[in-house]
Structure 1
Amino acid sequence: MNYVAAENLTKSYGIRTLFKNISFNINEGEKIAIVAKNGSGKSTLLKILMGKEIADSGNVIINKDIQVVLFDQEIDFDSHLTIDEYMMTLHSEPIQALKNYHKSLESTDSEFIEKALAEMEVHKAWDLENEMKQILSQLKITDLNAKMGNLSGGQIKRVALAKLLTETRAEHRHTLLIMDEPTNHLDVEMVEWLENYLNKAKITLLLVTHDRYFLDSVCDIIWEMEDQNLFFHNGSYATYLENKMIREDNMEATIDKANNLYRKELEWMRRQPKARTTKSKSRIDAFYETEKVAKTDTRKQGLELDFEMKRLGNKILELKNIDKSFGDKVLLKDFSYTFQRGEKVGIIGKNGAGKSTLLNIIQGFEKANQGEIETGETIHFGYFSQKGLQYKEDERVIDFIKEAAEYYPLANGKSLSASQFLRLFLFDDQTQYSPISKLSGGEKRRLHLMYILYQNPNFLIFDEPTNDLDLPTLTVLENFLQQFQGSLIIVSHDRYFMDRIVDHILAFEGDGKIKDFVGNFSEYRESKKIEDGNQKQDDKKIKTAEEKNSDKPTEPVASKNQNSKKKLSFKEQRELETIEKEMPDFEKTRAKILEQLNNETDYEKIASLSAELENISEKLELHEMRWLELQELLGE
């Protein structure tokens, strides 16, 4: 089934053309990711599909039998509504049935109550209510009576995401789900849950994201927006990179041929008299087309540079026995760490665990309750925070960068001008002389990041640098940081970015505890899963033993003959053998059901699996209790 058909779409703002004559189709079940640098028109294209923007030319045909749902960067909401009320602003029959049911709970009208219950059954609203609660729980939204106006930006985004996912489940029509950077403001557990949810859900998806692991897991088609065109790639992110490289190599070969032809044709053009004949007009037109190809700018935006970093002394940064609390909430407890020259450390943990607080303490923006910080005399911090770019009204991009320095030094004695450095971070000549106020949100983030790096610090501190950055910029940043010789601290939820850059993890695990782990992000996550699994097994054994002991009547010690053993009857011996044989099978079945539950998004299957889990857990518990009783009879 075809959802969307677009033909020859063109969109410009003033003299700037975002895309020209692009055509595409979206079919049922496809999961598509859009990749482009900020300012290329990704968000504009999404708004055109939503009917919020109009293309300059071309046609968009959306199947009348589908609904299009957008998860946008900008979220509209009534600040006076509670989270529960906001969730109920959805327009669908199951949601209306839910509203009527909740009203009926306060009603004494038996006819209204009966009608509300019937609507719940007809529209399967019981299932939707459970689905909504599960989604909210996974996104760590627990207080449904909280006012939307009192939530943080990250909380608002998570509530809006929960509403969107509920809406796609509530509607029985075909749905095209459009998501613009859905993983921003989500911690790792939430990202992994959403990744799994979208991967398993039977939906049609158009996605913009900078999270490459997320992209690879969820999408199998990539649209690349570049140079006003749209290129299509079937497969993974790696396939897209390979295809892009082949296309660029082919373009280089085409330009080389055009350059050779251009030189010959230019010589011919110069020999022609001013009054050219009609006979040569086609050749003249061809000359201008050849000139256009020959002058195509294919300069690679790589960063193979030999930087002259400010000197690092022997002492870098040392934290000794740092404590930090806000009231009863402990963020840091007796934390000590010595940073080494060239060390690249990743800091991870749940939102509110204290990661940003540690960065502020290191730089002297906040004071620790206790402890000592020693910073080397040669250290020059470069701090990329989440506060955003500060600039003067109507200030141009190039002038803003030149305020920091005219040139960026290289180790070979040469230097890069401000304009050359801007070009390395994907700001073309036209954009460099534009007012900062005209940049997109992502372009402002890129400029802010570049401004920090351009000041040539020797100790970089990044707090969520990848939020709202496009994939081309992330590639440039990663190349820069891999060559960076100074020390580096990164707070980020971007798994791919962290795996490429850091080799040491400080994990905030709650209550002031920080785990020091040598390895990259994925290695830490794998280690943590194994550790948590072992802990659950230990807790279960302790709980089973405690429950058994609590049920036993208290007996005087003297009444027990500790050295005696009792033989089991034939029947009891057979029972013990059967239990010992069945218990491992029950454990395997239970583990399999849990795995299925973790990967399932269909509520009916979730309900069925939950019933199976309860049944098998009950059987396993009865077997464990009886096994303990039989072991006691043996005196073991």
Structure 2
Amino acid sequence: MNYVTAEDLTKSYGLKVLFKNISFNVNEGDKIAIVAKNGSGKSTLLKILMGKEIADSGTVVINKDIQVVLFDQEIEFDSALTVEEFMMTLDSAPIVAVKNYHHALHTEKPDDMEKALAEMELHKAWDLENEMKQILSQLKITDLEAKMGTLSGGQIKRVALAKLLTETRAEHRHILLIMDEPTNHLDVEMVEWLENYLSKAKITLLLVTHDRYFLDAVCDLIWEMEDQNLYVHNGSYATYLENKMIREDNLNATIDKANNLYRKELEWMRRQPKARTTKSKSRIDDFYETEKVAKTDTRKEKLELDFEMKRLGNKILELHDISKSYGDNVLLKDFSYQFQRGEKVGIVGKNGAGKSTLLNIIQGLEPYDSGSIETGETIKFGYFSQKGLKYKEEERVIDFIREISENFPLANGRTISASQFLRLFLFDDQTQYSPISKLSGGEKRRLHLMYVLYQNPNFLIFDEPTNDLDLPTLTVLENFLQQFQGSLIIVSHDRYFIDRVVDHVLAFEGEGKIRNFVGNFTEYREMKSQENRKALEQPVALAKTAEIAQAVPKSTSAQRKLSYKEQRELETIDKELPLLEEKRAEIMQQLTTETDYAIISKLSDELESLSAKLGELELRWLELQEI
């Protein structure tokens, strides 16, 4: 079933063309990720599909039988509503049926109840309320009476996400779900739950995300918006990168051929007299087309980090027995760590575990309860926070950066200009001379990042730098940080980003405990999975050992032959034990990868029952062997 058909869409803002004559289709079951540089028109395209913007030209036809639902980065809510009241503000027919049913329960009017029951049946709404509470529980929202105005930004995001997922379950119509950066402000556990949910759900999805692991797990189509065009890629993020490289190589080959022809044709043009024949006029027209191709600029600024930063001394940063609590909430307990020159440390953990608090303590922005900190004299911190950029409304991008310095120092006494440094981070000449107030949200985040880096720090501290950054910028940033010679601390929930950049993980595991792990985030998660698996196996193994020890007789002086019935029983057990062991191994494997709490609970119960049965059979096998 076709959901959306767009033909020859064009959209501009003033002189800036976002996209030109692009066409595409969205069909039922498609799960599409949009990849583009900030400012390329991703959000504008989504608004056109939502009916909130109008294209300059072209047509968009949305199937009348589908509903378009948006999960936006900006969440609107009444701060006075409780979580449950906010959830029930959905205007879908099943939700209305549930509300009418609750109203009828309170009024106790037979007519109201009869009508409400008929509505519940009509819209199949009986299980909806339980499903809503289950989704909230899985997203760790348990207090339904809490006021929306008292929730943190991350909690509000999760409640809004629960509302959206409830809506997609409640509606029995065809739904096109549009999600703009759904993983921002979610911790890893919640991201993995959402990833698992969306990958298994039978939905049609249009997604903007910077999380490449999330993209690969959920989507099977990638739309690339670049140079005013839209390119469609079937497959993974790696496939998209490969296709993009091939396209650029082909374009460069075409430009090389055009350059050779252009030089020859330019000589001919210069030799020709003013009076032209019809044939020569045709050749002149071809010349100008060739010139256009030949002068196409495909050069990509390559990021080379051979810059001159202030040298780090022998002492970098040392934390000794640092403790920090808020009432009964222990965030840090006797934490010690000595940072090394050039070390790249990733800090991970659930929201509210104390990650940002540690960053503030390190920089002297927040007091600690006990312990001591020693900071090297040569340290120059560069801090990228979540608070955003402070700027004058009409100040131009280039002037904002030049306020720090006209030039950025490289090694061997060389420098690059502020404009060249901006181009390294994908700010073209037109954008550099635009007011900061005209930038998109993602472009402002990128400028904030530039502002931090351009001050030439030797110790970088990044608190969720990937939120609202586009994938091209993230690739540039990753390359930058991989070559960075100073020390680096990153707090991030972006698993791909952490894996690519860090070589060391500090994991907040709750109750003030911080695990010091050498390796990247994926390796840390694998280690935790093994620990969880062993924790599940240990009680079973101990119980089995105790049972076997009790079952083995101390003396076997008098033995007899097995009866026919016992012999058959032994043979049956011999066949059954390997099958049960295999089934048990399958469940253990599922437990290491499953993120749905309901399924985990069910699997754990099944594992416990299976282990008990195995223990009984092994005990009986020993008894028969002794006979």
* TM-score normalised to structure 2 length: 0.89
* CA distance, structure 2, for counterparts of residue 118 and residue 575 of structure 1: 59
Give runs of aligned pairs for residues 336-375 of structure 1, distance below 5 A: 336-375=336-375
Tell me the SS of whatever aligns to 1:80: coil
Give runs of aligned pairs for residues 441-460 of structure 1, distance below 5 A: 441-460=441-460
Give runs of aligned pairs for residues 29-178 of structure 1, distance below 5 A: 29-110=29-110, 112-113=112-113, 115-117=115-117, 119-178=119-178
Q: Summarize the Cα distance change of 1:496–1:620 in structure 2 as closer, same or farther, 3 Å threshold.
A: closer
Match of 1:240 in 2: 240
Single out whichever of 409-418 and 354-363 deviates more from structure 2: 409-418
Tell me the SS of whatever aligns to 1:480: helix
Whether the 8 Å CA contact 1:32–1:206 is kept in 2: the answer is yes
Whether the 8 Å CA contact 1:11–1:20 is kept in 2: the answer is yes
Q: Summarize the Cα distance change of 1:378–1:27 in structure 2 as closer, same or farther, 3 Å threshold.
A: same
Instruction: State the one-letter code of the partner of 1:389.
Output: L
Instruction: State the one-letter code of the partner of 1:430.
Output: Q
Tell me the SS of whatever aligns to 2:106: coil
* CA distance, structure 1, for counterparts of residue 27 and residue 215 of structure 2: 19
Whether the 8 Å CA contact 2:180–2:208 is kept in 1: the answer is yes
Kindly provide the CA deviation profile for residues 244-276 of structure 1, in whole angstroms up to 9, marking residues without a partner as x.
111111111111122222233334444556676
Instruction: State the one-letter code of the partner of 1:361.
Output: I
Match of 1:283 in 2: 283
Single out whichever of 97-106 and 380-389 deviates more from structure 2: 97-106
Match of 1:216 in 2: 216
Tell me the SS of whatever aligns to 1:466: coil
Match of 2:297 in 1: 297
Single out whichever of 410-419 and 344-353 deviates more from structure 2: 410-419
Whether the 8 Å CA contact 2:584–2:610 is kept in 1: the answer is no
Match of 1:470 in 2: 470
* CA distance, structure 2, for counterparts of residue 408 and residue 465 of structure 1: 22
Q: Summarize the Cα distance change of 1:252–1:178 in structure 2 as closer, same or farther, 3 Å threshold.
A: same
* CA distance, structure 2, for counterparts of residue 613 and residue 15 of structure 1: 60
Whether the 8 Å CA contact 1:200–1:599 is kept in 2: the answer is no
Instruction: State the one-letter code of the partner of 2:74.
Output: E
Q: CA deviation at 1:404?
A: 1.1
Whether the 8 Å CA contact 2:343–2:486 is kept in 1: the answer is yes
Kindly provide the CA deviation profile for residues 218-263 of structure 1, in whole angstroms up to 9, marking residues without a partner as x.
1111111000001111111111111111111111111112222223
Match of 2:202 in 1: 202
Tell me the SS of whatever aligns to 2:480: helix
Single out whichever of 101-110 and 386-395 deviates more from structure 2: 101-110
* CA distance, structure 2, for counterparts of residue 275 and residue 527 of structure 1: 80
* CA distance, structure 1, for counterparts of residue 559 and residue 464 of structure 2: 64
Aligned-pair Cα RMSD in Å? 3.5
Single out whichever of 241-250 and 577-586 deviates more from structure 2: 577-586
Kindly provide the CA deviation profile for residues 433-457 of structure 1, in whole angstroms up to 9, marking residues without a partner as x.
0000000000000011011111111
Q: CA deviation at 1:584?
A: 8.2
Q: Summarize the Cα distance change of 1:104–1:625 in structure 2 as closer, same or farther, 3 Å threshold.
A: farther
Whether the 8 Å CA contact 1:436–1:444 is kept in 2: the answer is yes
Q: CA deviation at 1:414?
A: 1.3
Whether the 8 Å CA contact 2:192–2:595 is kept in 1: the answer is no
Whether the 8 Å CA contact 1:200–1:601 is kept in 2: the answer is no
Single out whichever of 170-179 and 578-587 deviates more from structure 2: 578-587
Instruction: State the one-letter code of the partner of 1:185.
Output: H
Whether the 8 Å CA contact 1:322–1:369 is kept in 2: the answer is yes
Match of 2:549 in 1: none
Match of 2:322 in 1: 322
Tell me the SS of whatever aligns to 1:412: helix
Q: Give the number of equivalent residue pairs.
A: 614
* CA distance, structure 2, for counterparts of residue 88 and residue 304 of structure 1: 53
Whether the 8 Å CA contact 2:305–2:484 is kept in 1: the answer is no
* CA distance, structure 2, for counterparts of residue 153 and residue 229 of structure 1: 35
Tell me the SS of whatever aligns to 1:126: coil
* 1:401 equivalent in alignment to 2:394: no
Q: Summarize the Cα distance change of 1:597–1:27 in structure 2 as closer, same or farther, 3 Å threshold.
A: farther
Single out whichever of 425-434 and 64-73 deviates more from structure 2: 64-73
Match of 2:437 in 1: 437
Match of 1:552 in 2: none
* CA distance, structure 2, for counterparts of residue 587 and residue 305 of structure 1: 54
Q: Summarize the Cα distance change of 1:458–1:373 in structure 2 as closer, same or farther, 3 Å threshold.
A: same
Match of 2:531 in 1: 531
Which stretches in structure 2 are left out of the alignment for 5+ residues? 547-552
* 1:516 equivalent in alignment to 2:522: no
* CA distance, structure 2, for counterparts of residue 487 and residue 107 of structure 1: 66
Q: Summarize the Cα distance change of 1:220–1:521 in structure 2 as closer, same or farther, 3 Å threshold.
A: same
Whether the 8 Å CA contact 1:586–1:616 is kept in 2: the answer is no
Tell me the SS of whatever aligns to 1:106: helix
Kindly provide the CA deviation profile for residues 103-143 of structure 1, in whole angstroms up to 9, marking residues without a partner as x.
24434335544554454444332332232222211211111
Q: CA deviation at 1:66?
A: 1.1
Single out whichever of 83-92 and 174-183 deviates more from structure 2: 83-92
Match of 1:28 in 2: 28
* 1:265 equivalent in alignment to 2:265: yes
* CA distance, structure 1, for counterparts of residue 544 and residue 500 of structure 2: 44
Match of 2:252 in 1: 252
Counting aligned pairs with the same residue, the percent is 77
* CA distance, structure 1, for counterparts of residue 264 and residue 410 of structure 2: 39
Match of 2:229 in 1: 229
Q: CA deviation at 1:568?
A: 13
Whether the 8 Å CA contact 2:31–2:219 is kept in 1: the answer is yes
Q: CA deviation at 1:172?
A: 1.1
* 1:494 equivalent in alignment to 2:494: yes
* CA distance, structure 2, for counterparts of residue 575 and residue 312 of structure 1: 76
Q: Summarize the Cα distance change of 1:612–1:380 in structure 2 as closer, same or farther, 3 Å threshold.
A: closer
Q: Summarize the Cα distance change of 1:452–1:121 in structure 2 as closer, same or farther, 3 Å threshold.
A: same
Whether the 8 Å CA contact 1:345–1:490 is kept in 2: the answer is yes
Kindly provide the CA deviation profile for residues 525-571 of structure 1, in whole angstroms up to 9, marking residues without a partner as x.
1111111222234467899999xxxxxxxxxxxxxxx9999x99999
Q: Summarize the Cα distance change of 1:595–1:51 in structure 2 as closer, same or farther, 3 Å threshold.
A: farther
* CA distance, structure 2, for counterparts of residue 600 and residue 177 of structure 1: 24
Whether the 8 Å CA contact 1:344–1:502 is kept in 2: the answer is yes
Q: CA deviation at 1:277?
A: 6.4
